[in-house]
């Protein structure tokens, strides 16, 4: 199947692999499906919020 897609659309195998990795969906619970891109965005946001919490917890 992969070779067929590569030939049909004229993309490299590494480009196809990157695309699949980026846009593959992951089911996190019964009602939620996320792409790898969405998970990375959530991880970045979580890191930002954790940093903000550390700053706010510091005594004045």
What pTM was computed for the model?
0.60
Query: Taking the chain, what is the end-to-end CA distance rounded to the nearest angstrom?
Result: 61
Please provide the size of the chain in residues. 60
Nearest to residue 2, comparing CAs of 19, 16, 21? 16
CA distances from 41 to 25, 27, 35, 38 (A): 14, 16, 10, 5
Residue 1: per-residue pLDDT: 72
pLDDT tens-digit profile, the chain (60 residues): 788 988 998 999 999 888 888 888 888 888 899 988 899 999 999 999 999 999 999 887
pLDDT for the residue 58: 87
């Amino acid at each position: 199947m992969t070779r067929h897609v590569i030939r049909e659309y004229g993309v490299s195998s590494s480009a196809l692999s990157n695309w699949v990795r980026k846009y593959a969906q992951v089911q996190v619970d019964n009602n939620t499906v996320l792409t790898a891109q969405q998970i990375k965005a959530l991880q970045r946001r979580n890191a930002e919020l954790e940093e903000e919490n550390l700053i706010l917890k510091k005594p004045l």
